[in-house]
């Protein structure tokens, strides 16, 4: 985990490209980033009631959403619907959707090592597409939401979350350095790496790496590499790049290989993923 940085400044602007509606969303984020390594956060407000209806996509981050509005978010997965004020979504959430009206929230994206320290459980234990944050943070998390609701200033809200995370990190568990290093290597290679190479990089046997990595990350090394590669491909597809070019640039054997991975992670084709305003975008 990193050290605390200097005072933050915040800015507001149009929604980030990887969110559903570019128009109508107000976004606030710390210009210098969060104080902890492996943490990205932003605040979102639906200014003109465009509404939210979004498929939860697999990505190489554990996502934490803290609702700030009066109405909870509705999360739908294979087990039905639930209304949650705050939830955690794992690296590979499966089929799930999030809906809401006049949404106002803070979203955090945590690297697996950061999630391991801040959530108090291994990502391996996040066994549903959305887990209530109250089950993980209990009363301290509820008190954080109360304090966030008392303020309407984004700077104050993001500072409160930043301070909360710093306090949790101070007493949180640490991921095995070898596992964290292998994860960083996978990310640096954009997922194009062999498991034997990963084992050699940390001095472990393939079997030991497979066991320790799976227990602490929640995915096998091979699946983690697939996820990181898919994330780069999905971003390129949604930016309008040609699928054949994306397959080549992201290290897939061919375009059908890309097609199979996109279908496995999203349930839709690369062309559907790339369609503006598609449910998976």
SS3 260: helix
- Where is pLDDT greater, at 230 or 23? 230
With 80 as the cut, is the pLDDT of residue 1 above it?
A: no
pTM, full prediction: 0.85
Mean confidence (pLDDT) of the chain: 86
Q: What is the C-alpha separation between 148 and 19, in angstroms, rounded?
A: 22
pLDDT at 9 over 60: no
**pLDDT tens-digit series, residues 105-157:** 999 999 999 999 999 888 778 878 889 999 999 999 999 999 999 998 999 99
| pLDDT tens-digit series, residues 68-108 | 988 899 999 888 899 999 999 999 887 788 999 989 999 99
Q: Among all chains, which residue has been given the structure tokens 């959403």?
A: 65
pLDDT at res. 7: 28
* pLDDT attached to residue 61: 94
46-72 average pLDDT score = 88
What is the dihedral sign for C-alpha 130, 27, 262, 231? negative
For the ranges 23-27, 50-54, 204-208, the one whose mean pLDDT is highest: 204-208
Contact 106, 60 (CB under 8 A): no
So what's the pLDDT on residue 43?
Answer: 94
Q: How far is CA 223 from the centre of its chain?
A: 16
Task: Return the percentage of the chain with pLDDT > 90, whole number.
Answer: 60
Which pLDDT does position 23 carry in this prediction? 61
Q: What is the pLDDT of residue 15?
A: 31
pLDDT at 278: 40
CATH of the domain spanning 10-171: 2.60.120.10
Strand order in the sheet with 73-77: 52-55, 96-100, 73-77, 80-84
Report the length, in residues, of the chain. Answer: 281
Residue range(s) of every CATH 2.60.120.10 domain in the chain: 10-171
- Looking at CATH, the fold of the domain delimited by 177-274 is given as Arc Repressor Mutant, subunit A (1.10.10)
- Rounded to whole angstroms, how far apart are CA atoms 210 and 218? 11
Rounded to an integer, what distance in angstroms lies between the CA atom of residue 229 and that of residue 247? Answer: 10
Q: What's residue 3's pLDDT?
A: 33
Per cent of the chain over pLDDT 70 is 89
> Are residues 41 and 33 in contact, defined by beta-carbon separation less than 8 angstroms?
no
Q: Where exactly does CATH 1.10.10.60 map onto the chain?
A: 177-274
Any idea which residue has 């996509």 for tokens?
Answer: 57
pLDDT value of position 268: 86
Distance CA 1, CA 166 (A): 9
């Amino acid at each position: 985990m990193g050290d605390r940085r200097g005072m933050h400044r915040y800015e507001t602007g149009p929604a980030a490209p990887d969110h559903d509606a570019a128009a109508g969303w107000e976004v606030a984020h710390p210009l210098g980033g969060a104080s902890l390594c492996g943490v990205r956060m932003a605040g979102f407000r639906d200014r003109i009631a465009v509404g939210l209806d979004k498929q939860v996509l697999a990505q190489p981050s554990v996502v934490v959403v803290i609702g700030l509005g009066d109405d909870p978010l509705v999360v739908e997965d294979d087990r039905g619907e639930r209304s949650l004020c705050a939830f955690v979504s794992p690296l590979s959430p499966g089929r799930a959707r999030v809906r809401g009206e006049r949404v106002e929230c803070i979203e955090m994206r945590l690297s697996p090592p950061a999630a391991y320290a801040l959530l108090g459980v291994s990502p391996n234990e996040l066994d549903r597409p959305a887990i209530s944050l109250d089950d993980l943070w209990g009363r301290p998390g509820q008190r954080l939401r109360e304090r966030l609701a008392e303020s309407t200033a984004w700077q104050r809200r993001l500072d409160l979350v930043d301070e909360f995370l710093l306090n949790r990190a101070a007493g949180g568990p640490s991921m095995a350095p070898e596992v964290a290093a292998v994860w960083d290597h996978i990310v640096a290679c954009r997922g194009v790496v062999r498991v034997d190479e990963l084992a050699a990089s940390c001095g472990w046997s393939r079997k030991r790496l497979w066991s320790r990595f799976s227990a602490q990350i929640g995915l096998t090394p091979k699946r983690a590499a697939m996820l990181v590669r898919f994330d780069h491909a999905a971003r390129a597809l949604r930016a309008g790049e040609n699928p054949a070019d994306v397959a080549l640039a992201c290290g897939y054997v061919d375009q059908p290989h890309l097609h199979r991975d996109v279908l496995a992670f999203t349930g839709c084709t690369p062309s559907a993923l790339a369609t503006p305003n598609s449910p998976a975008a």
